[in-house]
A and B are shown apart, each in its own frame.
Chain A
């Protein structure tokens, strides 16, 4: 039992904060507030899911924030040209291809994931600016488009939940999941054991790209347009959520449930700071940083005690 709880350090902290928030603020533990948070968290949740898989495989994906924004723009563009199908296929195709290229560079040419995906970050952002004529063109999802239905809050949350269920099963119960753990745990050994290491690594970057793309599509549906300014620095939030969720950046271990708790934790902390209303924007960042330190240290100490 205690071991279980330790593994779910983020969940424990989350529950404590929720209870605290409920005690302090009348407007906190309401379906309205929590529902809105869930909707807003669904995008980061999708991205962090992909990040979890990448990190378990021993890599990192810094391109997700840019890919997210790019897909949003492409989805809006697609919806203006080809309706629902265009809004779905175009961005997913592009984000999948970006993932494929990154994965190939990392797995086949053995380049460092950090650098490859940093290039991906720049590239996707540049591409986004190119297709929006340096950010001056905004593509609007046509008002009557079926695509808008996807942007409904409930639908967004349901998509994220399904993604996590699928992700959890894939990671824990399929050979692909085992391969991720093996590659992240000891890449050389995995290769000597005859696992298709390169293919596994490529797949995981494709999946990460697709999930970021999916988040972008979801955001375009919700926002009703392809917003160019979103997703900056999102990769760091995703990494933070993954780590808070107990996944080691060294690869080879981790779970998607922890990541979900980590994402929720980030949003709850932000909302609590906001409801406190005591800080100006600068102080807010100081507090966020401090809270991040506390949470991560707690998480690390908990998981170390487990050993």
Chain B
């Protein structure tokens, strides 16, 4: 049978580790939060999207598991990709008595009213996986734990340049339009190429909406319009897998004739690297539970918390994939 990747790796897989602990910090006093006993605290978790892909499933599962492990009460709400819903979710969690909040923002802007509601109740907010771009840490929210999407794009570009020896015609499968994950993973990728790899030419950028189906059909079209494409950068793993199917369908060998790079680090793609169909994958680790909760605990204990906690994402390539595939999510 198969394993589409996902939940199973939530606790078993690689833990997140913070990479930088320098920079400004935040304390209970500076933030002005109410001090509560962590073990008696009620944590509210606002998830942004439905648990319908490995990343979200693992993320929610990780937080649920960790809360259980720590023995704290957890309230969960899911905004189903609706920003307005997320605002009411956060307000609803506050109304239900949450005194610590973990928020996976749907968008890097627009949570202001919700943050204000938390502020009014002196409830600290840890944002995970997506950074709020114009809100101020230690003021509007406590801290951000997550990956740097621009860096992910850059690392994918680095992998690509290395694997293609600096000459390639690459097509980009963009994520959903208007999503800032898409924007960041694109700019990180293209900026790096512009600065460092004159031999790599981007011949097309089309959206694959983060889905396998679109990834496949767009790749099919692009391969016909640009038969000279030698590499594909997909901004998530689903699209990369779709691209692999499309390349196969066009009678070419994915991983060899056309090299494929992607971001996410799901098990299917890491397995794809092992099989030689995919050439590189940058991890975006969704297991936020332990780090998020320990951060909140430290904060309540009066420790200074870094205002940005960037997690260390792994990178998979043919050298390490076989060894690491078990810990991928």
Give the CA-CA distance A30 to B92 in the complex, in Å: 11
Pairwise interchain contact B110-A223, C-beta atoms closer than 8 A? yes
CB contacts under 8 Å to A, within B159-214, are 177-180, 182-183, 186-187
A30, A44, A219: which has the most chain B beta carbons within 10 Å?
A: A219
Closest chain B residue to A230 by CB distance? B83
The count of residues in chain B whose C-beta lies closer than 8 Å to any C-beta of chain A is 43
Give the CA-CA distance A27 to B87 in the complex, in Å: 17
* In-complex Cβ contact of B109 among A32, A225, A271, A274 (8 A): A225
Closest chain B residue to A156 by CB distance? B113
Interface string of B93-109 (1 = CB under 8 A from A): 00111000000001111
Given contacts A36-B95, A280-B78, contact A138 B108 (CB under 8 A): yes
Pairwise interchain contact A222-B83, C-beta atoms closer than 8 A? no
Given contacts A135-B183, A136-B183, A274-B77, contact A222 B113 (CB under 8 A): yes
Q: Cβ of A153: which chain B residues have Cβ within 8 Å of it? A: 113
A250 located at the interface, meaning its Cβ lies under 8 Å from any Cβ of chain B in the complex:
no
CB distance from B167 to the nearest CB of A (A): 27
Q: Cβ of B91: which chain A residues have Cβ within 8 Å of it? A: 32-33, 36, 40
Given contacts A43-B84, A225-B109, A232-B81, contact A134 B177 (CB under 8 A): yes
B68 located at the interface, meaning its Cβ lies under 8 Å from any Cβ of chain A in the complex:
no
Interface string of A275-293 (1 = CB under 8 A from B): 1010011101100000000
Give the CA-CA distance A284 to B60 in the complex, in Å: 15
Interface string of B119-160 (1 = CB under 8 A from A): 000000000000001100000000000000000000000000
Pairwise interchain contact A138-B133, C-beta atoms closer than 8 A? yes
B314 located at the interface, meaning its Cβ lies under 8 Å from any Cβ of chain A in the complex:
no
Given contacts A227-B107, A229-B179, contact A281 B51 (CB under 8 A): yes
* In-complex Cβ contact of A27 among B51, B84, B96, B106 (8 A): B96
Pairwise interchain contact A225-B95, C-beta atoms closer than 8 A? no
B117 located at the interface, meaning its Cβ lies under 8 Å from any Cβ of chain A in the complex:
yes
CB contacts under 8 Å to B, within A1-39, are 27, 30, 32-33, 36-37, 39
Closest chain B residue to A133 by CB distance? B183
* In-complex Cβ contact of B89 among A222, A274, A282 (8 A): A274
Interface of A is mostly: helix
Closest chain B residue to A32 by CB distance? B95
Pairwise interchain contact B92-A36, C-beta atoms closer than 8 A? yes
Pairwise interchain contact A132-B85, C-beta atoms closer than 8 A? no
Given contacts A136-B183, A223-B113, A229-B107, contact A285 B84 (CB under 8 A): no
Pairwise interchain contact B88-A37, C-beta atoms closer than 8 A? yes
CB contacts under 8 Å to A, within B46-63, are 47, 49-52, 60
CB contacts under 8 Å to A, within B263-291, are none
Pairwise interchain contact A285-B109, C-beta atoms closer than 8 A? no
A140 located at the interface, meaning its Cβ lies under 8 Å from any Cβ of chain B in the complex:
yes
Given contacts A37-B88, A274-B77, contact A229 B106 (CB under 8 A): yes
Interface string of A230-243 (1 = CB under 8 A from B): 10100000000000
Pairwise interchain contact A136-B180, C-beta atoms closer than 8 A? yes
Give the CA-CA distance A129 to B78 in the complex, in Å: 26
Closest chain B residue to A232 by CB distance? B81
Pairwise interchain contact A281-B47, C-beta atoms closer than 8 A? yes
B51, B78, B110, B133: which has the most chain A beta carbons within 10 Å?
A: B110
A228 located at the interface, meaning its Cβ lies under 8 Å from any Cβ of chain B in the complex:
yes
* In-complex Cβ contact of A225 among B52, B60, B85, B110 (8 A): B110
Pairwise interchain contact B95-A30, C-beta atoms closer than 8 A? yes
* In-complex Cβ contact of B182 among A135, A227, A280 (8 A): A135
Give the CA-CA distance A27 to B60 in the complex, in Å: 24
A224 located at the interface, meaning its Cβ lies under 8 Å from any Cβ of chain B in the complex:
yes
Give the CA-CA distance A81 to B75 in the complex, in Å: 42
CB contacts under 8 Å to B, within A45-98, are none
B76 located at the interface, meaning its Cβ lies under 8 Å from any Cβ of chain A in the complex:
yes
Q: Cβ of B82: which chain A residues have Cβ within 8 Å of it? A: 230, 232
* In-complex Cβ contact of B76 among A30, A44, A271, A277 (8 A): A277
Give the CA-CA distance A136 to B97 in the complex, in Å: 36
B75, B92, B96, B179: which has the most chain A beta carbons within 10 Å?
A: B92
Give the CA-CA distance A277 to B134 in the complex, in Å: 31
CB contacts under 8 Å to A, within B242-278, are none
A270 located at the interface, meaning its Cβ lies under 8 Å from any Cβ of chain B in the complex:
yes
B80 located at the interface, meaning its Cβ lies under 8 Å from any Cβ of chain A in the complex:
yes
Pairwise interchain contact B51-A282, C-beta atoms closer than 8 A? yes
Closest chain B residue to A152 by CB distance? B113
Closest chain A residue to B88 by CB distance? A40
Give the CA-CA distance A129 to B134 in the complex, in Å: 20
Give the CA-CA distance A230 to B49 in the complex, in Å: 13
Pairwise interchain contact A227-B110, C-beta atoms closer than 8 A? yes
Give the CA-CA distance A132 to B97 in the complex, in Å: 38
Closest chain A residue to B96 by CB distance? A27
Pairwise interchain contact A33-B92, C-beta atoms closer than 8 A? yes
Q: List 20 A-B contacts (CB under 8 A).
A: A33-B95, A36-B117, A39-B113, A40-B84, A40-B85, A128-B178, A134-B177, A134-B178, A135-B180, A136-B180, A136-B187, A138-B133, A140-B134, A222-B112, A223-B109, A223-B110, A229-B107, A229-B178, A230-B110, A281-B52
In the complex, besides A40-B84, A135-B182, A230-B83, 6 extra interface pairs with C-beta distance below 8 angstroms are: A27-B97, A36-B91, A138-B109, A223-B109, A229-B179, A281-B50
User: Top 10 closest A-B pairs, CB basis?
Assistant: A135-B178, A281-B78, A136-B183, A227-B110, A228-B178, A223-B110, A281-B50, A36-B91, A225-B109, A224-B112
